[in-house]
Structure 1
Amino acid sequence: MSMAPLAEAWPADIEDAATTPTELTADTVEPSAKPSVTPSLFENASTYYDTGSKEFLRKNRRGVWLKLPSTDYKRVLRACGFSTKPQPGELLSAADHEILETQDKHDVAYAGPLAGYAEGFYEFGNHRVLVTNSPRLIEPIVGRWPILEQLLSNLFLVGAGVEQLLVFYGWIKVGFESLRAGERRPGQALVMAGPHNCGKSLLQNLLTEIFGGRFAKPYRYMTGQSAFNGDLFAAEHLTIEDEQPSIDLRARRNFGCQIKNFTVNEGQSCHAKYRDAVSLTPFWRVSISLNDEPENLLVLPPLDDSVQDKMIILQVGKHPMPMPTATLEQRKLFWGTLLGELPAFLYFLTQWRIPAGLSCPRFGVKHYHHPTLLEAMGSLAPEVRLLELIDAELFGFSEQTPWEGTALELQRLLTGSDCAMNHEARKLFYYNSACGTYMARLRRDHGERVSSRNTKTGTIWKIQPPDSGVTG
């Protein structure tokens, strides 16, 4: 969908209306006459009414859109010469008529910044939208970018050669060119995992500058901790940094579903607090940075078939920065140098072609998972993975009844053909007593969930549902 605005021209201010008195006064209005409209204030639709917040929007002298309640807006009208008192024989004043006129003809369902859109008036199906400011796009310029090039080489030329650096270039190229052209194109979530203090957050800050200069934090919404996502629609770059890892498979799977939603679905439901939801089509790019220890990788969703092609997982190395960063002044100079080189870097990307072996019709660049990180994700404690499988299979549909049975019965249940995750379960139970061994570890580490009792026929295990509040 093109993001070209339906209305390109916007009045800079209402200064002319304020300095040139209208002829609409208490002395000149005839009884029962419809009040006149100040052309400089309304003929170009410089004032809008937000049906959700019940506020009026107009630009101030600096070109900033202000949200005004009815009382403040009526004060603006009075300053422009509109009478706020009804004339003889009239029920409404001239200002009241203009308020009703604005509500009737210039109503919008959403007003504010919108990711990927320049300032302007748009229509999304039945929804009318006022975008109040534009992303700050960098203009590519021919030049050199030696410091940024060294930084990126240090970060990404780790273990697997040049491939992941080329994937990173391709991911930025596709996103930047789509944003610059005002077009929607899906893009994978970019994951960067590496040692503490190696430059991951610095790189995310640079990505924010590349993608319009605005960022938002989506993790709480993506993991189901919040039902509201209105703030996300004001930013092109959605960033997740070093979040608290969770072994709750439901939260991780919900995160995976939201990654699929954010990366490939064009239409999104914008639901701000105290507002009705409205369907919009934002431009989003998601980046995730985390430390590369196995427990930190638990932030990521399980890499099943539905999500693995929607994530690029890169390993980041730790090297000295290409400029001194010991003092505040040195860090400011380093950051300023990187910002100064971004136009040249983006020019390079606009001229560079993604290698044929890495191109992808859907996303522009293929997904990539660094082999070391894949191995680390696979080396997570097997008993933790077993508990995830149990929660998905036994308690995945709001089931709150505890499960009881032997380890062999549990193993048969999880590896049976009716279990959607039987392939992963079979990999866990690679020796005869594996299930019983893992259950014993879970009883030790998660006694609030797992307990056992001995019988003549063997050990009977009891597993409580997640968040049941019941011990044993």
Structure 2
Amino acid sequence: MSPKCEHHFLSPVEGVAPNVRVSYDTGNLPTKLHGLIVDYDSSALSGTLPAICESAPGPYRPRWACKSIRGNYRIVWDFEDAVLLPPSKKATMLFLALLAKRLRLIKWWPGFDVAAYNPCQYFELGRDWETLPKYDRIPKDTLDLWMWEATKTAQISANKPDQDIPLDEVEREVHSRFPGRWTGRFEPGARGPRFWDPTASNPSAAVVREDGMQCFSGDRGFMSWRDIFGSKWVEQFEASRIKGILERTLHDGQAFWVLDSPEAGWTRMNSQHFTKWLKCAGFDSVKDKGATASDTDRIEVAAITQRHIAAAMPFLYYPHGPMEYRGERVLNTSRVQVMAPAPATSFENIEEATTQHFPFTWSFLSQFLDTIDGEPRQFQYLLSWIKHAYMCGFQQKPQPGHALVLAGPASKGKTFLASVLLSRILGGSSDASDFLVKGSQWTDQLAKWPIALVDDEKGSSDYDSHRVFSIMVKRLVASQTVAFNGKWMATGEVAWNGRVIICCNDDAESVKLIPSLDFSIADKISLLRVNATSAFRFPANRSETAKILDQELPFFCRFLIDFKYPDELINKQDTRYFLKPFKHPELYSMASTSGNVYATYELLVMFMKQYRQTPGGMENEAWEGTASELHQSMTQFLQSSVIGRQNPRSLGSQLGLLQARGVPIERLKQSRNGTYRWRIPVDLEWGPSTAADLPPAGDMSTAAKTATPADKEMTI
């Protein structure tokens, strides 16, 4: 020792560089522990030191004892052989804590100093050293056992662990590179030789871990798979692991979308949540020394640049996940599905199905609608309509379908059919009143669900409001798209092939809710009249109804799959909607006579009656003039209160619609100033072509006159 040195320090720990102070900060990690030094902040003894050590409270007695520079006692345990320490500081401290517990260090003297847990702690040499007469050297096998117990569930690698490499791949590489060096099972906790060291002879000197081999002999306490097989071999699994993460990640320009599991579907995450998710998946958010980005940083950038999507929105009845839409890659967030049907062998014939498997459902549907000429033609159309909507979702091949109007008395099951029975079968419903009736801009709920329901809203008597409502229904049915717009959500256009259902009473005021048949909508809407005399009775409470539907509807869905469309209901001329539009004659008459075209027709007849009574009125074959001139003349002949809110522009539109319906009026060639002239016969009267009997602007369904009874066609 140097005479100039005032203090000397010692440590039982040996580092990677044996002659350099151990430190996790400088990189000279502790690798071997040769013994254990423990200080006690106490200088008083109740007896001699050898006597106390001889009656040791722990299983092993220390070898040396001395006093610290402050005069307190210190004792030192000796090991049979050095124990190899893991690279991780946390794992080493876990071992030292277990060592203190096994040796019962707190029982020796008062004032146990927790510095014993720190592998980088150095101790001043002290004074009055003595070798105790009776001591034990802790066996190496015991120390190795304690090391395994303390660290078997901890990460013992100081760096990012090489885990997520399948152990069967590791085992295959072991046998390939080191044939015959490992026998027995290769799994976590299995012991064997240090197979990579040709000089190693101890058959149980290493233990298999997920991220490498923990060693009890040699010069290192842990060998990662990278240490054993090299970086090139390990990095192929890292690349595969990152690829697997990216395949489950998308970015829409604002947020990440992650497929955590097929059952959970795609989940939206902001950048902060995505980083946490990556950390839970085993990726490090801390940059390695000298690196400019962490693992999580690199994955996030790769997801943004390589996994970009134009939008993430619900595309009803398409497969959940990424898809192509109009030339762009989008994410379908919708998981809406139709109800799963019962097995194909559930029943053999209709009678068995309707009486044994879904009697409640069949009884309700079969009594729900009016008969026509004593035949259940509406019922058969309703079954066909439901089947078509169901099959579009079941086969994940969405197609448009007619809007369905259900008109009839209150408390006959209109709302139950639309918002409960059909909603369960098709996957859900939304209240579309705000959008279709009130003009709300928020469409996220409408776009999400397959049924857009307008239930018992009063139709507006205002021409413009009802016109907008009718056009909105027409557009929703015909365009097969809807603008997706929700609060704090992405916006854009989505494919929507759901079904519009309008429920209303059948009184004169309520039928005004029916979209105007004037705006080329007649071929896009079906009108069904509810049976006012139905004797069907629902259970006393809704929970009982729900229980019945839970049992019956899967069988009804199987029936729908097997149900055969009546040939006369299939629209072979216009295949857009598959089925022909169906209109109950009386309901169609009520809807027609409640519309603005009918009112205009009435005004024209009244006007022509007055016009014929004017001097020379009967001498002319027809009245001719522009819509403005007609409006002025009608105002002169009729009271302004009769004309109501009719103006030249709306009057011109109504004349065009009447002409399209076959009323014998004629639009003449456009004049020089760009206006049209109209020619209206002066003898315009009520006759076989009254507005109630006029065919709609489009194909009027003949199904109400030609359809065969349902029981003749429903073959399985």
TM-score (norm 2): 0.48
Alignment partner of 1:116 is 2:317: yes
Aligned to 1:210: 425
Aligned to 1:10: none
SS of residue in 2 equivalent to 1:239? strand
Q: For residues 379-398 of structure 1, what are the structure 2 equivalents within 5 Å?
A: 379-380=593-594, 385=599
Percent identity among equivalent residues? 22
State how far apart, in whole Å, the 2-side matches of 1:350 and 1:325 are: 28
Aligned to 1:394: none
State how far apart, in whole Å, the 2-side matches of 1:223 and 1:100 are: 45
Q: Which amino acid aligns with 2:317?
A: G
Coordinate RMSD, CA, aligned: 4.3
The Cα shift of 1:183 comes to: 1.6
Q: Which amino acid aligns with 1:150?
A: S
Change (3 A) 1:68 1:252: same
Alignment partner of 1:152 is 2:360: no
Answer yes or no: is the 8 Å Cα contact 2:502–2:514 preserved in 1.
Answer: no
Change (3 A) 1:174 1:24: farther
Q: For residues 278-293 of structure 1, what are the structure 2 equivalents within 5 Å?
A: 278-293=492-507
State how far apart, in whole Å, the 1-side matches of 2:647 and 2:295 are: 78
State how far apart, in whole Å, the 1-side matches of 2:681 and 2:210 are: 85
Answer yes or no: is the 8 Å Cα contact 2:338–2:394 preserved in 1.
Answer: no
Return the match for 1:299 from 513, 516, 527.
513
The Cα shift of 1:323 comes to: 5.4
Answer yes or no: is the 8 Å Cα contact 2:309–2:329 preserved in 1.
Answer: yes
Q: For residues 98-177 of structure 1, what are the structure 2 equivalents within 5 Å?
A: 98-111=299-312, 113-124=314-325, 125-131=327-333, 133-141=335-343, 142-143=346-347, 144=353, 145-158=358-371, 161-177=375-391
The Cα shift of 1:244 comes to: 3.4
Q: For residues 252-271 of structure 1, what are the structure 2 equivalents within 5 Å?
A: 252-271=466-485
TM-score (norm 1): 0.70
CA-to-aligned-CA distance 1:34-88 (integer Å, 9 cap, x gap):
x95571773561222232x534434269625432211121122223333323334
State how far apart, in whole Å, the 2-side matches of 1:50 and 1:75 are: 19
Return the match for 1:341 from 544, 552, 559.
552
Alignment partner of 1:72 is 2:273: yes
Change (3 A) 1:136 1:81: same
SS of residue in 1 equivalent to 2:247? coil
State how far apart, in whole Å, the 2-side matches of 1:275 and 1:375 are: 44
State how far apart, in whole Å, the 2-side matches of 1:84 and 1:215 are: 43
Answer yes or no: is the 8 Å Cα contact 1:259–1:310 preserved in 2.
Answer: no
Aligned to 2:454: 240
Return the match for 1:230 from 413, 420, 444.
444
CA-to-aligned-CA distance 1:198-248 (integer Å, 9 cap, x gap):
11111112111221x222233322346222323322212222211232123
Q: Which gives a bigger RCO, structure 1 or 2 (Cα 8 Å, sep 6+)? A: 1
Aligned to 1:464: none
Aligned to 2:568: 357
State how far apart, in whole Å, the 2-side matches of 1:232 and 1:273 are: 13
Worse-superposed segment, 172-181 or 103-112 = 103-112
Structure 1 regions of 5+ residues with no counterpart? Answer: 1-14, 390-402, 433-472
The Cα shift of 1:195 comes to: 1.0
The Cα shift of 1:171 comes to: 0.8
Alignment partner of 1:96 is 2:297: yes
Answer yes or no: is the 8 Å Cα contact 1:37–1:98 preserved in 2.
Answer: no
State how far apart, in whole Å, the 1-side matches of 2:275 and 2:506 are: 57
Aligned to 1:408: 637
SS of residue in 2 equivalent to 1:360? coil
Aligned length: 394
Worse-superposed segment, 136-145 or 354-363 = 136-145
Answer yes or no: is the 8 Å Cα contact 1:84–1:95 preserved in 2.
Answer: yes
The Cα shift of 1:134 comes to: 4.3
Answer yes or no: is the 8 Å Cα contact 1:117–1:135 preserved in 2.
Answer: no
State how far apart, in whole Å, the 1-side matches of 2:164 and 2:267 are: 18
Change (3 A) 1:56 1:373: same
State how far apart, in whole Å, the 2-side matches of 1:24 and 1:302 are: 75
Answer yes or no: is the 8 Å Cα contact 2:403–2:477 preserved in 1.
Answer: yes
State how far apart, in whole Å, the 1-side matches of 2:300 and 2:652 are: 67
Change (3 A) 1:90 1:199: same
Find the structure with the greater CA-based Rg: 2
SS of residue in 2 equivalent to 1:283? coil
Worse-superposed segment, 227-236 or 412-421 = 412-421
State how far apart, in whole Å, the 1-side matches of 2:423 and 2:164 are: 38
SS of residue in 1 equivalent to 2:386? helix
Answer yes or no: is the 8 Å Cα contact 1:297–1:377 preserved in 2.
Answer: yes
Q: For residues 456-471 of structure 1, what are the structure 2 equivalents within 5 Å?
A: none
Answer yes or no: is the 8 Å Cα contact 2:323–2:332 preserved in 1.
Answer: yes
Change (3 A) 1:113 1:126: closer
Answer yes or no: is the 8 Å Cα contact 1:189–1:286 preserved in 2.
Answer: yes
Q: Which amino acid aligns with 1:93?
A: S
State how far apart, in whole Å, the 1-side matches of 2:511 and 2:380 are: 23
The Cα shift of 1:372 comes to: 2.2
The Cα shift of 1:97 comes to: 1.3
Return the match for 1:185 from 396, 399, 424.
399
Worse-superposed segment, 366-375 or 201-210 = 366-375
State how far apart, in whole Å, the 2-side matches of 1:430 and 1:244 are: 37
Change (3 A) 1:412 1:139: closer
The Cα shift of 1:338 comes to: 3.3
Change (3 A) 1:132 1:192: closer
Alignment partner of 1:374 is 2:585: no
Q: Which amino acid aligns with 1:148?
A: T
Answer yes or no: is the 8 Å Cα contact 1:122–1:128 preserved in 2.
Answer: yes
The Cα shift of 1:369 comes to: 1.4
Return the match for 1:420 from 656, 674, 678.
656
Change (3 A) 1:37 1:299: farther
Worse-superposed segment, 305-314 or 79-88 = 79-88
Worse-superposed segment, 163-172 or 153-162 = 153-162
Q: Which amino acid aligns with 1:345?
A: F
State how far apart, in whole Å, the 2-side matches of 1:81 and 1:308 are: 60
Alignment partner of 1:42 is 2:42: no
Change (3 A) 1:38 1:353: closer
Change (3 A) 1:21 1:155: farther
Answer yes or no: is the 8 Å Cα contact 1:50–1:57 preserved in 2.
Answer: no
Aligned to 1:81: 282
State how far apart, in whole Å, the 2-side matches of 1:194 and 1:299 are: 13
Aligned to 2:690: none
CA-to-aligned-CA distance 1:409-432 (integer Å, 9 cap, x gap):
8699577799434569x89x9999
State how far apart, in whole Å, the 2-side matches of 1:252 and 1:381 are: 10
Change (3 A) 1:37 1:71: farther
Answer yes or no: is the 8 Å Cα contact 2:318–2:397 preserved in 1.
Answer: no
State how far apart, in whole Å, the 1-side matches of 2:267 and 2:595 are: 54
Answer yes or no: is the 8 Å Cα contact 1:252–1:300 preserved in 2.
Answer: no
The Cα shift of 1:311 comes to: 0.6
Change (3 A) 1:95 1:192: same
